[in-house]
Amino acid sequence: MSLTDTGTPDDLAGRRSSGDDRRRPGFTERLLAVRELSLLLALGALVLVTTLRNDRFLSGQSVKDLLLGCAILVILAVGQTLVIVTRNVDLSVGSILGLVAFCTGSLFLAAPGLPWPVALLLGVALGALCGAVNGGLIAVAKVPALVITLGTLYAFRGIDYYWASGRQINAADMPRSFLRLGNQTVLGVPVLFLIAVVVVAVVGYYLRAYRGGRELYAIGSEPAAARLSGIPVGRRVFAVFVASGALAGLAGVLYAARFGTLDAAAGTGLELQVVAAAVVGGVAIFGGSGSAYGAALGAVLLTTIGSSLAVLRIDPFWQQAVVGALILAAIGLDRLLALRTAARLRGRSARGA
């Protein structure tokens, strides 16, 4: 108690309690601290500006095309989130998607009567196998994931090109029931997008509610400390690469259903969009923070940007620059919110001391 404090102890406690209440952040401040809010604001502003320019942007068919366009990127971004949270990165997801997509088409060529759920499971298994190769090499060679997955990016793509040998698989070679999966809707919402929503919900819940998910954040924050605390870092990192590969395999099967025409170039360059979607979604590239929900919103935002620029008739030479500027703006806003949150926590710690 200081010399300037007057009154009974109960009065002083009451004044301090009321002062603490005044210092507590209100609803608006807590809302601004949500990392995904900046993405929702950017997405809303982009849709608003585009709709004012062309009111058909929010027509039923346009919204359906937008949801179909972002579904595969959402699935890949969620898988990438698992990896980046542990302070790693998977650059091979585009090649895994292409390999699995061509494998799916080849399966239907070899066995025309094969039920598509079986092809779906086999595609996920092949993707998981590719992810296991990545995780195993990282665990055994003790080489940064960036280097390993850069190598497997070219290795998996090379296998795909060797297998394809210049051939192309057309929609006529695949079952109609499988191709309907790529365009079918439920209450106006594409099935592909509903699958992506389920993936986001499952991974998001796992990261938030399960011990294994929380351990991934601990690994990304400080791998050495996580290892000393008894977390099986090697096994966890191996598992996230298998999961990322499995989701890339799922995306590959859905890619085959969506587009029908397949060759060895499917998914080329997609890995950069996936990493960008995760980072824009608030997943820290140095690990330890981020969410599957943010990564999904980042994928939706990037897809919407591409559609909006075409509607706004922006010169194609400037489109990449505009996308890059919006990505930087989203990252900057996310970083600002993170710094404000950290400063508030330091202030509370100082008052508590």
What's the pLDDT score for residue 35?
A: 65
3 state SS of 296: helix
Q: Name the residue range of residue 134's domain.
A: 60-334
Residue 41 domain-assigned (yes or no):
no
CATH code for the domain in which residue 263 is found? 1.10.3470
- If you average pLDDT over residues 40-46, what whole number do you get? 85
Residue 222 domain-assigned (yes or no):
yes
Residue 343 domain-assigned (yes or no):
no
Q: For residue range 109-166, what is the model confidence (pLDDT) as tens digits?
A: 888 888 899 999 999 999 999 999 999 999 878 888 999 999 999 999 999 999 888 8
Residue 274 domain-assigned (yes or no):
yes
Residue 271 domain-assigned (yes or no):
yes
pTM for the whole structure: 0.84
Q: How far apart are CA 271 and CA 102, in angstroms?
A: 17
How sure is the predictor about 24, in pLDDT bands with cuts at 50, 70 and 90?
low
329-337, long-range: CB within 8 Å, 24+ apart, which pairs? 329/42, 330/38, 330/39, 330/42, 330/280, 330/298, 330/301, 331/279, 331/280, 333/38, 333/42, 334/35, 334/38, 334/282, 337/32, 337/33, 337/35, 337/37, 337/38
What's the pLDDT score for residue 20?
A: 43
Residue 22 domain-assigned (yes or no):
no
Q: Quote the number of domains for the chain.
A: 1
HEC sequence for 242-260: HHHHHHHHHHHHHHHHHHC
DSSP code per residue over 100-168: HHHHHHHHHHH-TT--HHHHHHHHHHHHHHHHHHHHHHHHHH---HHHHHHHHHHHHHHHHHHHHTT--
3 state SS of 352: helix
How sure is the predictor about 9, in pLDDT bands with cuts at 50, 70 and 90?
very low
What is the rounded radius of gyration, in angstroms, for the C-alpha atoms of the chain? 24
Residue 261 domain-assigned (yes or no):
yes
Q: For residue range 308-318, what is the model confidence (pLDDT) as tens digits?
A: 877 777 776 67
Spatial CB neighbours of 282, under 8 Å, sequence gap ≥ 6: 35, 36, 38, 39, 289, 290, 291, 294, 295, 298, 334
Residue 3 domain-assigned (yes or no):
no
Q: What is the largest CA-CA distance in the chain?
A: 88
Phi, psi of 272 (to 5 degrees): -70, -40
